[in-house]
Amino acid sequence: MIRRLLLVSNRLPFTVQERRGELHIEPSVGGLATGLSSWHKSFPCIWIGWPGITQKKMKREKDIMARLLSENCHPVSISQQDVEAYYNGICNRTIWPLFHYFPLHVEYGEGYWQAYERINTAFANVVAGIARPDDTIWIHDYHLMLLPRLLRERLPKATIGFFLHIPFPAFEMFRLLPWRKQVLEGLLGADLIGFHTYDYAGHFLDSVHRLLGCDVGMGQLRVGDRLIKADAFPMGINYEQFSSAAEEPKTKAEKTRIRNKLGDCRVILSVDRLDYTKGIPERLEAFSLFLSRNPKFKQKVVFILLAVPSRTRVDHYIQLKRDLDGLVGDINGRHGTIGWMPIWYLYRSLPFRSLTALYSLADVALITPLRDGMNLVAKEYVATRADGKGVLILSETAGAAQELGEAIIINANNTEETVRALEQALVMSEKEQMERNRVMQERLRRYSVQRWAEEFTDRLFHTKNLQRQMAEKALTGETERQLVKAFHSSDKALLLVDYDGTLVSFSPKPEQAKPGASLMSLLRELAAHSRTELVIISGRDKDTLERWFGRLNAGLVAEHGVWIKERGRGWETIETLTSDWKEEIRPMLESWVDRTPGSFIEEKGFSLVWHYRRAEPKLGELRARELINNLSHSVANLNLQVLEGSKVVEVKNAGINKGRAALRWLSGQEWDFVLAVGDDTTDEDTFKALPSTAWSVRIGGGASAARFSLDYPREVVSLLAKLARGI
C-alpha cells in the first residue's frame, strides 16, 4: 500500500509563466498530472520537478516558490546554462532522436553528458532530502535515467519505480550512445522498470544482457543481491473524462461553432506536438496525393492539422516548423479553391473543450507518427467518440497500435498505404465504424490511466516482496550462526560441496578455475577432521578432479556422478556406461561450435559438453536452445540425457545425476549434520536427495529446492572457514 508517493519528473504539474514581467503559476495541461489527478489525490503525494524557470528567477521569486510548495511541489533548480546543455542538449538533441530511431539527428557532446549527470544529481539531492523510509518513489522518463541509481546509493532500501514514456530502442540503436552503460546502470537502481510495450522491455533487457553481461530471464535480473523487474505497462487515459466530454453543453456549443465554419465538409484531424517523430510532412504528402487521386473529395473534405509548439530552441524543430509552413502553403495553393482551403493549420495548444469538440466531430483521426512511445491522442480520439462513430488511422510504429488493432493500421512511410487508408476510412459504413470502436473503447475503459498507475505500483510492491522473500532465504546473521553451531556440536558431519560457481567463480576457460593455495588449505583443514566427511561433487572430468583434489582426504564425484571416489579408495564407476554414442553426437556439437564463435567442446569420460560462456551472450542463449531442441530427438534413442548447466549443455548417459551419487554417502551411514552447497540446476538433484533435516544452500538467485541462499562463492568460502576454524 502506498503511504506517501514521491512523483519525480522533469517538469512539475505546474508551470511558472512570465506575463508582462510577472510570474504566474498555472496547472500544466494534459500529461501525467491531469491523467493521474483522481488517483494520486487518494494518498499523500509530493511532486518533484523543474518548474520551467531558471535558478536566478527562482531565487528572486520567493512567493512563487512558496505557492509551489503549498501545492506539494518541490522545485529542482536548474541554471540557464544547464537548461541549454541538459534539456535542449542531451535530452532533446541526443536521447530523444536516438531512442526514436533518428540517429542522423543525434548530437553527442561530453558537455551535454556532464550536464545530464549534474541535473540528475541535483534531483537526487532534492528527493533524498525529502524521502522517508516508507515512501514510494516513482521516477518518470528519459530526462532522469541516472536518478534511480543515484538514489539507490543514498537510500539503499528505498522502493523505487521508473517508467520510460518513449520507446526503448533495439540494441543496435542503443549501443550508439557513448554513455550507454551508465544509462543502463542508472536505470538498474530501480526495483521495477516500466515501458509502454513488451518490445521496449525486451529491447532494454537485451541491452542489459549484452552490455552489462547480466543474465536476464522472465523479465527479471539480479544486480548484486537485488532482484529487479522490467515489464510492460501500456499507459491509458482518463477514459471517463474524455467519453463524457462530448455530451457536455460547452463542448457541444464549441462543436456547433466549428461545424458552422466547416459547412458540410468531412473532417480529417491530426493532433500532435510539432515533432519530427510524428511524421507530419509524410502525412501531408499522403493527403495531397489523396486529393490528386480523388478529385470527388475536393471541397468535400478538410484536414485540420493541430500542432502544438514544442522545443522551439532546437534546430531540427525550427527547421521542421519552416518546412511545414511551406508544405501547408504548397498544398493549399495547389488544391485549394476560393472558399475552400483543404488544410486548416493551427500551430498552438487548444483548451480541453476545443480539443474534445474537434475529436467528436472528426470523421477520421489520422495519427501517423514515424515512431512514438505510446501516443495518447489516438486513445483520446477513440474514447471521446461516445457515439461510436469515427475512424482511427494509426501507424504501426506507435506503441498504441499494439492495443488498438481494430484501427486501420498503416506504415507511415508508405504513402500509398496511407492514401488507401484515407479512402477506406471515408467510405467506411457507420456499422463497421461502431463495431471497431466498441472493441477499442471497452479496452481503453478497462485499462485507464488510473489502472495503469495501480498496476505499476502493485507490481513495484510485488517486486519488493520478492526481494524480501529472497532476503529471508539468505543465509546470514542468526541462521548462519545456527548452522555453524549445529556443525560444531555434531558427532558425524557430511559436507557435499559443488566446485565451479560454488567454491570458485566462473572463468572464461574451465582450466583457469584451478583452486588457489588458500582454498586448498581450507579444504585440507576440513577434510582432515575425523568427525567430518567432505565430498566434492562436480561436473568436471575425473582426471582434473584427481589432479586438483586427489591428495585430499575427501570423497570425489566427477562428471555429475559418473565417477565416484570414496576416501582412501580408487575411482569407480557406478554403472556399466557406454561412450560409443559420442561418435553420433559429436558432429552435431561441432557444427554448433562452427556457428557460435567463442564456444567449444569439452570431452569427458562419459559425456560431451558444449560450453558457450565466451560466446556473445544473446547468440549463446539462442544456440543453446536450438541445440537442446535438436538433441532431444537424438538422445531418446541412445538412452542419453541432456543437462543444462551454467552456460553449458552437457550430453551424458541417462540415469546419472549428482543426487544419485550423493546417496552413496547419505544412505551408507548415520549423519547428525548434513550440508549441501551448489549453484546450478545439476545441484538441485543433490538438494532433492537430502533428508529434511539437512542444511542446503544455493548460490545465486532463482527457484531452488535448497532451504537457503548465498550470493557469491566468497561467501561459501567464508562459511566453510567458520566451520573449519572451530574444528
273 is a contact residue toward ligand ADQ (CB under 6 A): yes
Distance between CA 130 and CA 71 in Å, rounded?
15
Quote the least distance from Cβ 30 to ligand ADQ, whole Å.
4
- Which residues are CB-contacts of 172 (< 8 A; sequence separation ≥ 6)? none
- Measure the CA–CA gap between 635 and 642, rounded to whole angstroms: 8
The 3-state DSSP class for residue 30 equals: coil
- Judged by CB under 6 A, the chain residues 430 through 489 that form the site for ligand ADQ are none
Among positions 122, 190, 274, 374, the unique one binding ligand ADQ when judged by CB under 6 A: 374
Minimum CB distance to ligand ADQ, residue 141 (Å):
8
The answer to whether 223 and 230 are in contact (CB under 8 A) is: no
Number of Cβ within a 10 Å radius of residue 555: 25
**Minimum CB–partner distance for residue 164 and ligand ADQ (Å):** 9
Angstrom CA distances, 255 to 299, 352, 451, 658, stand at 20, 12, 30, 76
Q: Shortest CA distance to 16 belongs to which of 82, 64, 71, 84?
A: 64
CB of 393 to ligand ADQ, least distance (A): 15
Of the two residues 349 and 630, which places its CB atom closer to ligand ADQ in the complex? 349
Interface pattern 151-190 for ligand ADQ (x via CB under 6 A)? --------------xx------------------------
Closest separation in Å from C-beta 14 to ligand ADQ: 16
Give the separation between CA 577 and CA 372, rounded to whole angstroms: 60
Q: Which listed residue (135, 498, 679, 680) is catalytic? A: 498
58 binds ligand ADQ (CB under 6 A): no
Using CB under 6 A, pick the residue from 77, 288, 375, 596 that binds ligand ADQ.
Answer: 375
Q: Which residue has the cell 530552441?
A: 313
The residue assigned the cell 469515427 is: 390
Q: Among residues 48, 306, 493, 723, which is the contact residue for ligand ADQ, using CB under 6 A?
A: 306
Minimal distance, residue 372 CB to ligand ADQ, in Å: 4
- The reply on whether position 144 binds ligand ADQ by CB under 6 A is no
Three-state SS annotation for 400-424: HHHCCCCCEEECCCCHHHHHHHHHH
* Binding status of residue 314 toward ligand ADQ by CB under 6 A: no
Tell me the closest approach of the beta carbon of residue 411 to ligand ADQ, in angstroms.
18
Binding pattern to ligand ADQ, positions 332-351, x when CB under 6 A? -----------------xx-
How many residues lie near ligand ADQ (CB under 6 A)?
A: 19
Binding of residue 15 to ligand ADQ (CB under 6 A): no
User: In whole angstroms, how close is the CB of 291 to ligand ADQ at the nearest point?
Assistant: 24
How far from chain centre, in Å, is Cα 113? 23
Apex 376 CA angle, 6 and 435, nearest 5: 135
The C-alpha atoms of residue 464 and residue 458 are separated, in whole angstroms, by: 10
Spatial distance between the Cα atoms of 18 and 35, rounded to a whole number of angstroms: 25
Stretch that binds ligand ADQ, among 186-194, 375-383, 645-653, 712-720 (CB under 6 A): 375-383
Phi, psi of 635 (to 5 degrees): -70, -30
**Among the candidate windows 173-181, 372-380, 446-454, 717-725, which touches ligand ADQ by CB under 6 A?**
372-380
Cell of 330: 504548397
Which residues are bridge partners to 232 per DSSP?
195
Q: Cell triple for residue 660?
A: 544419485
Is the CB of residue 395 less than 8 Å from the CB of residue 411?
yes
258 binds ligand ADQ (CB under 6 A): no
Is 498 part of the annotated catalytic residue set? yes
Binding window for ligand ADQ (CB under 6 A); candidates: 104-112, 179-187, 373-381, 665-673 = 373-381
CA nearest 203: which of 225, 224, 184?
A: 184
For ligand ADQ, give the closer residue by CB, 202 or 373: 373
> Does residue 98 touch ligand ADQ according to CB under 6 A?
no
Told to check if 308 binds ligand ADQ by CB under 6 A, we report: yes
Binding site for ligand ADQ (CB under 6 A): 29-30, 165-166, 235, 271, 273, 306, 308, 349-350, 355, 372-377, 380
Q: Which residues are catalytic?
A: 498
